[in-house]
Structure 1
Amino acid sequence: MTPSEVLDLARAHGVMIATAESCTGGLIIGRLTDVPGSSRAVDRGYITYSNAAKTEMLGVLPETLEAHGAVSEAVAAEMAQGALARSQAGIAVAVTGIAGPGGSDHKPEGRVCFAIADAWGIRTETVDFGALGRDNVRAATVEHALELLAAALRD
């Protein structure tokens, strides 16, 4: 799914998009805003790399971070919910993961948690892209986030 196609879907549904990004550091919003005319469908992007930023900017609860860790569907859900609540958007996508290098047995390199928040609720999923290298994990995360946005906008 191209960014232009995602923006067309958002415009067709009359909604603006917000992003809440950790491991991608703004790459999703960057891809969307590379498209001329994107301001008609993009509201804002939050880059919340640190836990403090997730809490301060998006309202992620410290208890959620403590219980599940930053790379979790629970945190992704709160990030997406916070981005939706703190914006003029009708749909928000959130990503948090381990782009690498590094990781652990419990949370390996290449694991990314995604969330979509919109008027119908919050949906989450985890994808293990594998140890593809930092750039490739981040690129795969952006592409998957665009696919999730498109799927949600098609429903």
Structure 2
Amino acid sequence: MNDEIKSLAARLGVVLGERGLTVTTAESCTGGGIAYAITSVAGSSNWFEEGVVTYSNDAKQSRLQVSSEALMRCGAVSEEVVKEMTLGALQHTQAQLAIAVSGIAGPGGGTAEKPVGLVWVAWRFRDLVVARSFHFSGDREQVRLQSIVEGLRGAIAMLESNL
């Protein structure tokens, strides 16, 4: 874990702690990397509820209630699916903020329409949900690390602009 990720995870903890809020994660291509970063911060049990890794479509459906229609129509790496992942994550916890990520880290699995490096991240806080796509370059590890950075960065931005 690099220094930027450590710093962002610590900053997220400060922002959540100051507001008495908690976060949950629903991850696919990052394999729990956001949850790992968060729980690397001492005291994170005060503001981190739970993290789930739902790598397969079946897991996204059974654990997070992602609709089969969204998966069939849009694919797992899509705005609609990450938004549904945040909703499912919040329904299973007492957290107020959810971060979800799904992407194609590579080296295989990409297509012309959805190339390697395409990652969708969504953040849901109260009634607000925002999703954003990223096109990262680099190898599998670099794509995953960049996804973790953006997941944390977006969560901080959402909280700081909506409270």
TM-score range, shorter chain: over 0.9
Partner of residue 66, structure 2: 60
Task: Confirm whether residue 112 of structure 1 aligns to residue 150 of structure 2.
Answer: no
Q: Which runs of 4+ in 1 moved over 3 A?
A: none
Structure 1 residue 8 corresponds to structure 2 residue 2: no
| Gapped regions of structure 2 (runs ≥ 5) | 1-6
- 1:119 partner amino acid: R
Q: Helix, strand or coil for the counterpart of 2:25?
A: strand
Q: 1:76 aligns to what?
A: 82
CA contact (8 A) 1:20 1:46 kept: yes
Identity among equivalent pairs (%): 40
Q: Give the equivalent residue in structure 2 for 1:129.
A: 136
Match of 1:98 among 96, 101, 104: 104
Alpha-carbon distance between aligned partners in 1 of 2:58 and 2:94, rounded to the nearest angstrom: 23
Structure-2 residue corresponding to 1:48: 54
- The CA RMSD measured in Å over matched residues stands at 0.8
How far, CA to CA, are the matches of 2:127 and 2:70 in structure 1? 22
Quick check: 1:110–1:137 contact (8 Å CA) kept in 2? yes
**Kept after mapping to 2: 8 A contact 1:13/1:153:** no
Q: How many residues align?
A: 154
8 Å CA contact 1:84–1:118 kept in 2: the answer is: no
Q: Under a length normalisation based on structure 2, what TM-score does the superposition of the two structures give?
A: 0.92
TM-score by length of 1: 0.97
Q: Does the residue aligned with 1:18 lie in a helix, a strand or coil?
A: strand
Shift of 1:120: 3.0
